[in-house]
Amino acid sequence: MSSLVAAIEGIGFWMHGLPSWEAARAFANGGALIADAPSKPSPQLLPPNERRRASESVGIALEVAAAACQAADRDPASLPSVFASTHGDLAITDYICATLASEPRAMSPTKFHNSVHNAAAGYWTIGNGCMHATTAISAFDGTFAQGLLEALAQLNDGAEAVLLAGYDTASTGPLGEMTHSEGLLGGALVLSRRDPGLHSPSEKPAIAVLRATLVDGDPPPTQGALARLGANNAMAQMLPLFDALASGGDVVLLKAGPGRLLRVEIAHG
């Protein structure tokens, strides 16, 4: 396939001990974890009552998506979006399976509606009054690469800018024996078609330009600081890109499926 190109206008990030992109970038360049960092995100998009009830997958997706839009100075209501998660919310899936097996009538309606894979996308579009298209995608360990491809394809099809959010949570119960995932991890990018070298004085310059191409092969071992720290989360597949964005790397290879890679070349702004 031919290459797809986009400028990165904004980045959002959240991991335990690294509650922002600034903290993650410092850590990737030899810094330390933030000792008093919150144990989970608290997305301000949701009213306080809903914020407390929100599932961890919804919370982290909204947190990083909002941070990326803020960094890009983009109105969230103006952006189509792609929400990429390997598993959705495994804790809720485990709860539903256990409840159906033991006491089906005790099923929580709130947890049931949060079990769908597009729950975070729904909260995001409703909370922001966004009428643009949103996509929820899963492709096992190629999920982030396929989400990035989807966002790039939308730009190539004419969208001015697209929000991409990748996130996963911890696995629990019997599901944890089948697919292991630890902690909370989320990252988001606002991608656009604009030329990073051409911007008005009122616009922020682009952070970087990505050129992505599908190729054959298998991903190399991960080596970056963020990739090592988040290696046990199902969305660790995205971390080589965030390591490169943080430390100035120029090429990353993201698993895009069996025997397939998304080669991403990075020109930093």
What is the structure's pLDDT at 196? 54
| Amino acid, res. 50 | E
Cα dihedral across residues 122, 146, 233, 172: positive or negative: positive
Map tokens 């839009």 to a residue.
Answer: 69
What is the structure's pLDDT at 141? 94
Give the C-alpha distances (Å, rounded to integers) separating 158 from 9, 15, 80, 193, 249: 17, 33, 11, 9, 29
Banded pLDDT at 40 (limits 50, 70, 90): confident
Which DSSP string do the residues of 78-106 spell out, in sequence order? G--EEEE-SSS-HHHHHHHHHHHHH-GGG
Mean pLDDT for the chain overall: 91
Question: Which has the closest alpha carbon to 163: 1, 6, 49, 47?
Answer: 6
What is the structure's pLDDT at 12? 98
Alpha-carbon distance of 1 to 165, in angstroms, equals 24
What is the structure's pLDDT at 51? 72
Domain covering 8-207: architecture: 3-Layer(aba) Sandwich (3.40)
φ, ψ of residue 107 in degrees (nearest 5): -60, 130
Alpha-carbon distance of 68 to 13, in angstroms, equals 8
pLDDT above 90 as % of the chain: 66
The answer to whether the pTM exceeds 0.95 is no
φ, ψ of residue 188 in degrees (nearest 5): -140, 150
User: Which tops the pLDDT comparison, 46 or 69?
Assistant: 69
pLDDT in tens, 66-125: 999 999 999 999 999 999 999 988 888 888 888 889 888 888 887 777 778 888 999 999
Beta-carbon contacts of 85 under 8 Å, excluding residues fewer than 6 positions away, are: 57, 61, 117, 120, 136, 138, 143, 166, 167, 168, 235
What is the structure's pLDDT at 1? 61
What is the structure's pLDDT at 250? 95
Instruction: Decide: 86 and 138 in contact? Cβ < 8 Å.
Output: yes
pLDDT in tens, 80-89: 999 999 998 8
Point out the least confidently predicted range of 86-90, 126-130, 201-205. 201-205
pLDDT in tens, 132-157: 999 999 999 999 999 999 999 999 99
